[in-house]
Amino acid sequence: MKTIKDLGDLAGKRVLIRCDFNVPLDGDTITDDGRIKAALPTLSQLVDAGAKVVVMAHLGRPKGEVNPKYSLAPAAKRLGELLGVPVKLAGDVVGPSASETVASLANGEIAMLENVRYEPAEESKVDAEREALAAKYAAFGDVFVSDGFGVVHRKQASVYDVAKLLPNAAGHLVEKEVEVLKKLTATPERPYVVVLGGAKVADKLSVIDNLLKVADTLVIGGGMGYTFLAAQGHEVGTSILDAEKIDVVKGYMADAAAAGKQILIPVDAVITPEFNDGSRKSTVDADAIPADQMGLDIGPKTGALYADAIAGAKTVFWNGPMGVFENPDFADGTMAVAKALAETDAFTVVGGGDSAAAVRQLGFADDQFGHISTGGGASLEYLEGKELPGLTVLEG
């Protein structure tokens, strides 16, 4: 995979760069700018090199239609503040405003096109449609840099097709993510503990399958924990349950036991009759969840058990919260895991998405962890062993 240094002297060249600025918003206010900060090393290097930088990015899912709710204006403003230079935002993606904005760039200046997902062809399944749009993108650049790791698992015009039309390279963010994920899959220091949470078992089944071959211990929490409890024959009440996957989960538990691996599942749970801000909550053992109540967090005994597993590890990968952490009543389990990761000397990776949002919301700093990934889905697909189109195209 080529890197920026392989592109040579970039002074005066137009560098088209794909970033991932899909940040959470409260109105026009960015509530977590981690993905923008993660792009700064690459963007700063390009600006300092005297390149004319043209940023492509997306926000949300406007589904091929212009929708002010998904404008990149807040991202452009925040990027300008962090870089200390103005960021010109085009009023469209590949229209007259984009052309004028790019043409107006001087050396060392930076512009951003509007949300690429305003264009219907960006996510098209028809190759020719994506390729036609990619040709319009390519007209704005002399070289292409891929630095949006959160989208490299997508075969999209601004990720995949444009890379085939221009000399290309990986930015520092993509380079770092691949380096970390290779370490997790090929050469992890042991014991290697993988912590998986989130709502659905189905989303993580292939990951579990692949990681059972590599990890020493799998720690299961979040909504998916109740499918594992059901697989052991326990009542899970009205908790999230992936009933169709119970037999698959039983198979994983049997495979782990046969291979001498450990799968840790909740031993207690924080439950409530109904989820709302005034929820009446209580803590019960995992085999004593009433039929009319739901689990929304791991309990304190489980939190301590999982913290012990993390403390004894040399490598830890964590993806997915342990409960509904957005509500303080159900955040203790996620806090216990985050605290254990922050305190261990192990190499720790927080796997993007909700996990990254959780650690920041709970008051942890990025540098308390070995690496915070910017790509939840991309990280998981890499760990599954899948081919990621946005990476393979850079190897050509």
Catalytic residue (one of 37, 77, 183, 200): 200
Q: Is 355 annotated as a binding residue?
A: yes
Closest CA relative to residue 116, chosen from 80, 140, 100, 84: 140
Locate the DSSP E strands across the chain.
14-18, 25-26, 29-30, 52-56, 87-89, 110-112, 143-146, 168-170, 192-196, 217-220, 262-264, 268-272, 282-285, 294-298, 315-319, 347-350, 371-372
Q: Is 20 annotated as a binding residue?
A: yes
Known catalytic membership, residue 353 = yes
Catalytic residue (one of 13, 14, 18, 35): 35
Q: Is 295 annotated as a binding residue?
A: yes
Q: Is 363 annotated as a binding residue?
A: no
Query: How many degrees, rounded to 5, is the angle at CA 40 between CA 34 and CA 45?
Result: 165
Catalytic residue (one of 50, 80, 108, 377): 377
Q: Is 388 annotated as a binding residue?
A: no
Q: How far apart are CA 24 and CA 207, in angstroms?
A: 26
Query: How many degrees, rounded to 5, is the angle at CA 214 between CA 265 and CA 364?
Result: 60
Closest CA relative to residue 18, chosen from 98, 107, 132, 134: 134
Q: Is 61 annotated as a binding residue?
A: yes
Q: Is 168 annotated as a binding residue?
A: no
Q: How far apart are CA 66 and CA 173, in angstroms?
A: 29
Known catalytic membership, residue 35 = yes
Known catalytic membership, residue 130 = no
Between the alpha carbon of residue 382 and those of residues 132, 204, 284, 319, 390, the distances in Å are 28, 12, 37, 13, 12
Catalytic residue (one of 351, 353, 376, 390): 353
Q: Is 21 annotated as a binding residue?
A: yes
Known catalytic membership, residue 182 = no
Q: Is 22 annotated as a binding residue?
A: yes
Parallel, antiparallel or unpaired: strands 294-298 and 268-272: antiparallel
Q: Is 354 annotated as a binding residue?
A: yes
Give binding residues for (2R)-3-phosphoglycerate as ranges: 35, 117, 154
Return the active site residues: 35, 200, 353, 377
Give binding residues for substrate as ranges: 20-22, 35, 58-61, 117, 154
Give binding residues for ATP as ranges: 204, 295, 326, 352-355
Give binding residues as ranges: 20-22, 35, 58-61, 117, 154, 204, 295, 326, 352-355
